[in-house]
């Protein structure tokens, strides 16, 4: 497999997104684009198509804000217990291939590993319970804790104060280009776009950022073990 050219030896801090980057985004896409519109259609006694169209419009209106991934906000908006519904579907939560191999290798090499996510803290808790990924991180930071989504430069300013990472020796991986652009503007030196976010959807592409399809690309048996 082609190796992504990142100088791991020069990197002290590994900054990682969760949904789509470490975890298969199929769970989230299915939940927000199929299951929730289905439940909303039943509640409002409308067709699935109309319900999905209405919800996608409402999602779009809050994209890039704290409301975007605030499941308590959406529970109130739709009068549906979204945390309970997500709990029922937890069996669909899956870790992307070779993620744990990569995290374990980085731990052995004494890298500082931080999770930076826009996900609600209740969703973070659910996914950590399902996957057991939490043991690999030195800290996990949510946009709700910081007060800004990752798309805002203020998120990065406040998160750096909290975690103390150095821009010049940090690697950041995310599947959202808007977030990557903000991280780059902030000065994060090494940036990778996770091109395969949803295993059941097509691969993304980018001319702007170096792409990562599989975490195996970052593993070098001789150096990372």
Instruction: Catalogue the active-site residues.
Output: 10
Return the closest-CA partner of residue 72 out of 61, 85, 63. Answer: 85
What's the angle, vertex CA 8, arms to CA 6 and CA 12, rounded to 5? 125
CA distance 59 to 154: 23
H or E stretch at 36: helix 36-44
* CB 126 within 8 Å of CB 86: yes
Nearest to 19 by CA among 205, 198, 209, 157: 198
How far apart, in Å, are the Cα atoms of 131 and each of 17, 27, 69, 136?
Answer: 15, 13, 20, 11
């Amino acid at each position: 497999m082609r190796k992504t050219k990142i100088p791991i030896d020069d990197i002290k801090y590994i900054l990682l997104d969760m949904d789509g980057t470490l975890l298969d985004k199929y769970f989230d896409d299915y939940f927000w684009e199929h299951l929730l519109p289905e439940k909303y259609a039943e509640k409002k006694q409308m067709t699935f198509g109309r319900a999905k169209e209405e919800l996608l419009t409402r999602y779009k209106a809050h994209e890039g804000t704290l409301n975007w991934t605030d499941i308590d906000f959406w529970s109130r908006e739709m009068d549906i217990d979204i945390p309970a519904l997500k709990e029922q579907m937890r069996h669909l939560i899956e870790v992307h291939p070779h993620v744990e191999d990569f995290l374990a290798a980085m731990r052995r090499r004494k890298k500082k590993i931080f999770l930076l996510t826009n996900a609600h803290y209740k969703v973070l808790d659910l996914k950590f319970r399902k996957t057991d990924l939490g043991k690999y991180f030195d800290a996990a930071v949510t946009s709700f804790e910081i007060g800004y989504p990752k798309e805002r430069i203020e998120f990065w300013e406040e998160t750096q104060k909290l975690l103390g990472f150095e821009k010049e020796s940090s690697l950041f991986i995310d599947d959202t280009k808007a977030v990557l652009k903000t991280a780059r503007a902030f000065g994060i030196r090494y940036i990778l776009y996770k091109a395969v976010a949803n295993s059941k959807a097509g691969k993304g592409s980018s001319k702007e950022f170096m792409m990562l399809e599989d975490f195996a690309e970052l593993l070098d048996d001789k150096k990372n073990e």
